Structure 1
Amino acid sequence: MLTAFARAFKTPDLRKKLLFTLGIIVLYRIGAHVPAPGVNYANVEFCMERPHADSGLLGLMNMFSGGALLQVTVFALGIMPYITASIILQLLTVVIPRLEALKKEGQTGQAKITQYTRYLTVALAAFEGTGLVGTVRSDSLFRGCPRQIVPDSSVFATLTMVITMTAGTCLLMWLGELVTDRGIGNGMSILMFLSIAARFPGALWQVKLEGELAGGWIEFFAVILVGLAMVALVVFVEQAQRRIPVQYAKRMIGRRSYGGTSTYIPLKVNQAGVMPVIFASSLLSTPALIAQFSGSKAAWATWLATNFSKGDRPVYLAAYCLLIVFFAFFYVAISFNPEEAADNMKKHGGFIPGIRAGRPTAEYLGYVLNRITWPGSLYLGLIALVPTMELVLFHANQNFPFGGTSILIIVSVGLETVKQIESRLQQRNYAGLLR
């Protein structure tokens, strides 16, 4: 593996791409520690030592910003607005015929959808920035902290902070697109990878400090072993796929024969990826926010705040698992259309052995897809519950670093980036990273 990296840096164009990506990484991590204008960073450091909002929607946003949200920096919003905008556009493509037509136009239509995603990202960043400034000035971000994070409460200071954070999100969006064009891997995925990986050392050391057995070292190494086991499980399931064989009939065009080849349709066990976990986390943060901003002391508000403010309540866990399963089937239904796949196969003279072309093929693909989505959705629910199991076993008040969304993104992005480097090395007859 080290030899493969050395050969990669010896290749001029590949070395240029790797160094460019590393430069963007350094710039991103520097910006994640630059405080936004009007923020008293000394008070931020003081309040960070107290209990803070590290769960629910704010916890999810903090994870995607690499901890920059709680530090109220220029990149406090991270790339969460872009992720939200991409998800919204992807869902609207199924509902709005105009967007569906653009998607089918190929590269030109995709460029137009990307432009819409950028506009929506700016709007969402401005909206989330306004909400974050309001949250910082209340006790929602740092519960009961006696020091003010933003001493100046004027309209000008608020606008300056919102504009700065929105510009930070736009800069991250531009840097991600630069990595995609000139670097290695998908730029937005690389930024997500960095945001999550940057929190691992601090979270692991926090487990050691809060441990009680042998100075915390037993809990420390136990968490690492659990994390390695989870990585192995995620790699195994993410690479697992059901290959449906497809045979193409021979066709004579002029004097040449085309077709007659055999291939397969790879249906992944986890076809939905990490999206169901993100959807479920975002949706379950809504009841606690409603109870918080309502200011009511009624029984319903107390019940919502009690059962949905923490991730270890039975009601929260049951709803979390059910929503993950639901969104797994929902996302698979909108991302893979069996009827469209069957029509494309029929147009090109392809068929599944033993299955008639057309509607029977679409029904067979839907049947297989539903069968493999069940274990995939249950696997996502199991991975998402690992942080809660860690809280019960180790009695820690910090989120488990190897749980839920984080481990899925880390492994998925890592595998995809390694595959891209391997493909470029194989073009030059070099051995891959993993032999």
Structure 2
Amino acid sequence: MRKFLATFKRIFFIPELRSRILTTIGLLLVFRLGAFIVLPGIDATRIAGKAKGILGLLDIFLGGAFSNVSIFGLGVVPYISASIAVQLLTVAVPYFQKIQREGQAGRKTLSNITKALTIVIAMIQSASYLAATVSTDSIMISKPLFYILSLFILPAGTMACMWIGDRITDKGIGNGVSMLIMIGIVSSLPGAFFEEFVLRGSRGLLIFIFEIFALFLIVVSVVMFTQATRRIPLQYAKQMATSGGIYSGQRQYIPLKLNSSGVMPIIFAQVLMFLPALVSNFFANKSEKMAMVSRIFGDFTTWQYNLVFSILIIAFTYFYTAISINPMQIADDMKRGSSFIPGIKPGKPTASFIDDILSKITLPGSLFLAIIAILPGLAYMAGLSKGFSRFFGGTSLLIMVGVVLDSLQQIESYLLMHHYDHMMDSGRIQGRSQI
């Protein structure tokens, strides 16, 4: 505890780090305030609790902005959709592959394309959002005027969220967009604890303590899963020095993460799981089969939903790992850098060796990811409240753990840099006399 307090004290004694942390907190407060500013022309007393069922999952990532019909009602969801689309285009379209290989200039071009696509997607999603959440009796002004204003305000709110995320990345502690998603998820945590402890407290304090302990074990498991890597030994060839001597080759490692795809497989699978329920809702009153499909895929606790969800996650984990890690490119980079894997020939044998290891670690990684994804449904079926059960796994927990670990690494790098700067400023090189 004393070491923790000392580290916390050091953080706020570094001016740059203190400024970045305070900037991040201030921008996050602006983002949270925007989640409670209702669209102009709406009666706020008639919109509470609109986001239910599958829409409730989306509301978690937006910190209640979705159900509040706020100016940040779409949040960064259109940006995420645009990012996924551009990532897929860089795999399938040669033009985008060429842009991606242009280095910093290519990344800037792809970023501009993503932002332009975000505006288009935000305008399309705004119309669907208004149709799904706003009832005609809650509109207090002229309906045409309200819809015209909202179709401009909602995309503008998305662009404002993106600007806040960019400022957190540049002026804060990094991971701006991920930080916005995480703060939206965390904002619902106190209410979930209250619902579980107070409203369902009749089951006893001991059961609640057991639930907290189970949640702690799950969080520890997710941290271990997120950090787990398979290290492939890498040997650098011996190099000739300018003085005529020979430097011995360095030995390093290629770290292949057990979960190389992050939360993207769950996001892809969840988008597909939304489609059957959304489509069947339009025909639920006309067909009994469609009504049954709506009930099954609109409820994340049914075994049919969890089975299909798990299969999609495993398939998307392999797909996203394949498009994000190219063994042949790694082998070519190693060859150009005069490095090799001991006992493996350079070129295609190296690529095959890396691909074989990647295939072996992707299977347990995808299975664990599928288990984490369906844990909220299992927790709800075990008797936990719906709000509290969502923190027992799924995208929410993976995003929170990932963002917290990245933020801690950023802070640690600043502390380490300040430590070396302090040594350079305060010490002097031994063996030299002072002038």
TM-score by length of 2: 0.90
With over 3 angstroms needed to count, the CA separation of the structure-2 counterparts of 1:253 and 1:86, relative to structure 1, is: farther
Match of 2:228 in 1: 240
Using the TM superposition, give the Cα deviation of residue 190 of structure 1 relative to its aligned residue in structure 2, in angstroms.
1.1
Q: Is residue 81–residue 124 contact of structure 1 (8 Å, CA) maintained in 2?
A: yes
Match of 1:32 in 2: 35
Structure 1: distance between partners of 2:68 and 2:208: 26
Match of 1:231 in 2: 219
Matched, 1:404 2:394: yes
The aligned amino acid for 1:165 is L
Structure 1: distance between partners of 2:13 and 2:139: 49
With over 3 angstroms needed to count, the CA separation of the structure-2 counterparts of 1:110 and 1:386, relative to structure 1, is: same
One of 6, 10, 14 as aligned partner of 2:9:
6
Q: Larger deviation: 65-74 or 200-209?
A: 200-209
Matched, 1:19 2:8: no
Q: Is residue 82–residue 121 contact of structure 1 (8 Å, CA) maintained in 2?
A: yes
Match of 1:211 in 2: 200
The aligned amino acid for 2:70 is T
* CA deviation profile, 1:305-345 (whole Å, cap 9, x unmatched): 12211111221111000001000111000000011111111
Matched, 1:150 2:153: no
Query: Unpaired runs of 5+ in structure 1?
Result: 139-146, 431-435
Q: How does 1:61-210 map to 2 (within 5 A)?
A: 61-137=58-134, 148-152=137-141, 154-210=143-199
Matched, 1:338 2:327: yes
With over 3 angstroms needed to count, the CA separation of the structure-2 counterparts of 1:149 and 1:376, relative to structure 1, is: farther
Q: Is residue 35–residue 73 contact of structure 1 (8 Å, CA) maintained in 2?
A: yes
Larger of the two Rg values belongs to structure: 2
Q: Larger deviation: 362-371 or 59-68?
A: 59-68
Using the TM superposition, give the Cα deviation of residue 37 of structure 1 relative to its aligned residue in structure 2, in angstroms.
1.1
Q: Larger deviation: 243-252 or 359-368?
A: 243-252
Match of 1:384 in 2: 373
One of 348, 353, 360 as aligned partner of 1:371:
360
SS of alignment partner, residue 71 of structure 1: coil
SS of alignment partner, residue 280 of structure 2: helix
Using the TM superposition, give the Cα deviation of residue 274 of structure 1 relative to its aligned residue in structure 2, in angstroms.
0.6
Using the TM superposition, give the Cα deviation of residue 191 of structure 1 relative to its aligned residue in structure 2, in angstroms.
0.8
Matched, 1:267 2:270: no
Q: Is residue 77–residue 125 contact of structure 1 (8 Å, CA) maintained in 2?
A: yes
One of 409, 414, 422 as aligned partner of 2:404:
414
Q: Is residue 274–residue 409 contact of structure 1 (8 Å, CA) maintained in 2?
A: yes
Q: Is residue 346–residue 357 contact of structure 1 (8 Å, CA) maintained in 2?
A: yes
TM-score by length of 1: 0.90
Identity %: 38
SS of alignment partner, residue 329 of structure 1: helix
Q: Is residue 279–residue 327 contact of structure 1 (8 Å, CA) maintained in 2?
A: yes
Matched, 1:249 2:237: yes
With over 3 angstroms needed to count, the CA separation of the structure-2 counterparts of 1:333 and 1:254, relative to structure 1, is: same
With over 3 angstroms needed to count, the CA separation of the structure-2 counterparts of 1:226 and 1:360, relative to structure 1, is: same
Using the TM superposition, give the Cα deviation of residue 368 of structure 1 relative to its aligned residue in structure 2, in angstroms.
0.5
Query: Unpaired runs of 5+ in structure 2?
Result: 421-435
RMSD value, Cα: 2.0
Using the TM superposition, give the Cα deviation of residue 107 of structure 1 relative to its aligned residue in structure 2, in angstroms.
0.9
With over 3 angstroms needed to count, the CA separation of the structure-2 counterparts of 1:23 and 1:333, relative to structure 1, is: same
